[in-house]
Structure 1
Amino acid sequence: MMRLTISAIAVVALMGAAAAMLPRSPSIELSAAAMPPLQELHTMAGVSTLPVQDIEDQSLVFPPAAKR
């Protein structure tokens, strides 16, 4: 039983080491520099064409829960 556990741990460690050594595809790695500005995202999504919604203030109807 002990040999099986040690063997399983060794196999998992070897698989982890092998996965860490594999080269990563540059298409998978995203960085903050690849993110377009928020205003450009809004323009691409057409946010300005969405209808304006009136949101009722329900803070008096549903007050926040009291801290205990």
Structure 2
Amino acid sequence: EFYIGYLSAFIELTHKTRILEVGCGEGGNLAPFARLGCKVTGVDIAGCRIKEAQTYFSEISN
């Protein structure tokens, strides 16, 4: 949620906003943006972390 406060000082965060995180892990930094309705994409080199992210985000519509 720290990043939302930081970024919202520079850009308007809407359902049209796209967020990309490289090295996203389980996606914890992306979840607050997804809950706001932003379109989020995370990539990670570790397949096991991507599987964790898919589980973590299964309840978040995006």
Q: TM-score, normalised by structure 1?
A: 0.18
In terms of fraction of residues, the more strand-rich structure is: 2
Structure possessing the higher relative contact order (Cα contacts under 8 Å, 6 or more residues apart): 2
Q: TM-score, normalised by structure 2?
A: 0.19
In terms of fraction of residues, the more helix-rich structure is: 1
